[in-house]
Amino acid sequence: MGNRFVSIWFRHLKTDWFSIRQPHLKNLPFVLRTPSHGRMIITAANAVAVMRGISCGVVLADARAIFPELEVQDDKPDLVNKLLTRLAEWCIRFTPIAAIDPPDGIVLDVSGCSHLWGGDTFYLEEIARKLNARGYDIKLAMADTIGAAWGVARFGKESLVASGMHSEALMSLPPESLRIEFETVMRLHKLGLRQVRQFISMPRSSLRRRFGEHLLHQIDKAFGHEMELMQPVQPIEPYQERLPCLEPIVTLTGIEMALKQLLETLCHRLQQEQKGLRSAMFKGYRVDGKVEQISIGTNRPTHHVKHLYKLLEGKLSLIEPAMGIELFVLEAQKVEDHFSEQTKVWEGSGGLEDIRVSELLDRLATKTGMQSIHRYAPDEHYWPERSYKQIALEEKLAIPWRTDKPRPLQLLSKPECIEVTAPIPDYPPMLFRYKGKLHTIAKADGPERIEQEWWLQQGQHRDYYRVEDVEGNRYWLFRLGHYHDETYQWFIHGFFA
């Protein structure tokens, strides 16, 4: 299937926009004005005013002399591009590739889209119906090239040009259908060349000499001999799936069904290409023009449908369908290589390499936010509070965790001072008081001496003891300095399981 394009011509773009916001203007002769060389000039006229012979460029005073009831408002010079951009973004519900075509049009690349609406005819009818319902007077056409669609929309009688017939459709149109300069159009008309067929077969050298290179370029674009590029209003995601709805979806069940279908299609494609997504966005285009969306991220690339559905399912309640959603879009915004590996049941990988751990982290991040999940790695320092550091989830360990000495499950970020009773030097304590509670020690092991790091700071060493009180709770205590030093102190630093 070749390329297909739709050109949408807004015949009264700016006045329609004013009439949508002030409905009483729709049935009145209404124009926009702007100052020019000390006079007010009409820059736009609605359909009623045009039917009475009022056109752009006319001096406002002259028009009012003939039609005193003429409604007038100030023009907004910066309105066109903003308005066309918003309308092009709205048209993304019909195709992912939409571009503005100033001063009064939009171009859609609809290749492979129309079958979702039951064919080209129904597709064009749906676009026209939706835009008319929004209050815009439009004319549109579909053809194999942007130039042909543009010309037929503005000067042709039919809306649909069959595939491969765009050249024939252009033949009967006037020269201005080729989007050429006004001066060139006037010269062609003066020579009696009022249809494209009357000069299209002339030697190119003659056309170039008489009318310039621009005419030849526009002919080549319209007839498909030269590629014409579009600048979409939104970047195209390479991994995107779309699901238009025959009737607007207003229920959570319908949204869930749409999400499942899109996930199955997208994940199958990712799997075939050995890719996995790292971030995804699920969008719902509402009937009223608003877009509802939710997004997720993963720690590792994945194309696991059930896992991704679980991540998105928890956020579906944030989607407000209002009057209904008519298009669902699922985009894999970040994609990485993901090669399927054959795993053995008796060889558990453990850690972050275990896909189950990675999926658990994804679910936790979806509920609590990625900022609440931390990973720690060993650091090359002696003192316990310096012996670890926070790293990224996917970062590899530079050194292994130390396992030759027992360490508490919970380590205080800063040791807390306690009162201790100990019998003789280098013996474990018999009693200690922590936060007002007295603990009687039943078992103890130590000391384990940990020196200061002289290249960081000078100071006393620590003698650590693992102790267990009569209630069965286990603690990690240390004495700072020698027992015979008058300045020695005892601290609690951690809690064992």
Judgement on whether residues 106 and 202 belong to the same structural domain of the protein: no
Q: Is residue 392 part of a domain?
A: no
Residue 116's domain is classified under what CATH number? 3.40.1170.60
Evaluate whether 488 touches 479 at the Cβ level (below 8 Å).
Answer: yes
Query: What percentage of the chain has pLDDT greater than the value 70?
Result: 95
In the prediction, which pLDDT does 353 show? Answer: 63
Instruction: Answer whether residue 367 shows pLDDT above 50.
Output: yes
Q: Is residue 15 part of a domain?
A: yes
Judgement on whether residues 32 and 136 belong to the same structural domain of the protein: yes
Instruction: Answer whether residue 350 shows pLDDT above 60.
Output: no
**Separation CA 151–CA 252 (nearest Å):** 44
Instruction: Answer whether residue 345 shows pLDDT above 70.
Output: no
Q: Is the dihedral of CA 251, 280, 117, 231 positive or negative?
A: positive
Strand 240-249's sheet: what is its strand order? 240-249, 325-337, 275-286, 291-302
Structure tokens at 188: 């062609």
For the chain, the farthest-separated pair of C-alpha atoms sits apart, in whole angstroms, at: 119
Judgement on whether residues 138 and 187 belong to the same structural domain of the protein: no
Judgement on whether residues 20 and 52 belong to the same structural domain of the protein: yes
Q: Is residue 357 part of a domain?
A: no
Among candidate residues 167, 191, 11, 206, the one with its CA nearest the CA of residue 103: 11
**Separation CA 214–CA 226 (nearest Å):** 13
What phi-psi label fits residue 138: left (phi over 0), alpha (psi between -120 and 50 degrees) or beta? beta
DSSP 194: -
Instruction: Answer whether residue 341 shows pLDDT above 60.
Output: no
Instruction: Answer whether residue 348 shows pLDDT above 60.
Output: no
Residue 192 pLDDT class (50, 70, 90 cuts) = very high
In the prediction, which pLDDT does 343 show? Answer: 45
Estimate the share of the chain in helix, then strand, then coil, as percent rounded to the nearest 5. Answer: 35, 30, 35
Judgement on whether residues 304 and 268 belong to the same structural domain of the protein: yes
Q: Is residue 212 part of a domain?
A: yes
**Separation CA 146–CA 151 (nearest Å):** 9
306, 337, 368 - which closes a domain: 337
In the prediction, which pLDDT does 386 show? Answer: 81
Is 386 or 50 the better-scoring residue by pLDDT? 50
Judgement on whether residues 82 and 127 belong to the same structural domain of the protein: yes
The pLDDT tens digits of the residues spanning 120-134 come to 999 999 999 999 999
| Residue 453 to residues 255, 258, 419, Cα–Cα distance (Å) | 60, 60, 26
3-class secondary structure, 256:
helix
Instruction: Answer whether residue 292 shows pLDDT above 70.
Output: yes
**Separation CA 407–CA 409 (nearest Å):** 7
Judgement on whether residues 174 and 253 belong to the same structural domain of the protein: no
Residue-range definition of the domain harbouring residue 201: 167-223
**Separation CA 21–CA 238 (nearest Å):** 38
Judgement on whether residues 14 and 52 belong to the same structural domain of the protein: yes
Q: Is residue 459 part of a domain?
A: yes
Structure tokens at 437: 């509670």
Q: Is residue 87 part of a domain?
A: yes
User: Region 170-187: what's the mean pLDDT?
Assistant: 95
123, 155, 187 - which closes a domain: 155
In the prediction, which pLDDT does 337 show? Answer: 87
Among candidate residues 377, 380, 400, the one with its CA nearest the CA of residue 389: 377
337, 369, 392 - which closes a domain: 337
Judgement on whether residues 106 and 50 belong to the same structural domain of the protein: yes
In the prediction, which pLDDT does 331 show? Answer: 93
Element (H, E) at 366: helix 355-368
Judgement on whether residues 21 and 141 belong to the same structural domain of the protein: yes
The pLDDT tens digits of the residues spanning 374-428 come to 788 888 888 888 887 888 777 778 788 878 888 898 989 899 999 998 877 667 8
Instruction: Answer whether residue 236 shows pLDDT above 70.
Output: yes
User: Region 305-314: what's the mean pLDDT?
Assistant: 91
Among candidate residues 467, 491, 487, 471, the one with its CA nearest the CA of residue 479: 491
Residues 50-73 as b or e (16 or more Cβ within 10 Å = b): beeebeeebebeebbeeeeebbee
Judgement on whether residues 148 and 174 belong to the same structural domain of the protein: no
The pLDDT tens digits of the residues spanning 56-109 come to 989 999 999 888 999 999 999 889 999 999 999 999 999 989 999 999 999 999
Instruction: Answer whether residue 347 shows pLDDT above 80.
Output: no
71-74/30-36 β-pairing: parallel
Considering its fold, how many domains does the chain have in total?
4
Evaluate whether 465 touches 451 at the Cβ level (below 8 Å).
Answer: no
Element (H, E) at 277: strand 275-286
Residue 277's domain is classified under what CATH number? 3.30.1490.100
Q: Is residue 314 part of a domain?
A: yes
The pLDDT tens digits of the residues spanning 53-69 come to 898 989 999 999 888 99
Q: Which amino acid is at 52?
A: R
**Separation CA 88–CA 7 (nearest Å):** 11
Judgement on whether residues 329 and 246 belong to the same structural domain of the protein: yes
In the prediction, which pLDDT does 346 show? Answer: 37
DSSP 392: -
Q: Is residue 172 part of a domain?
A: yes
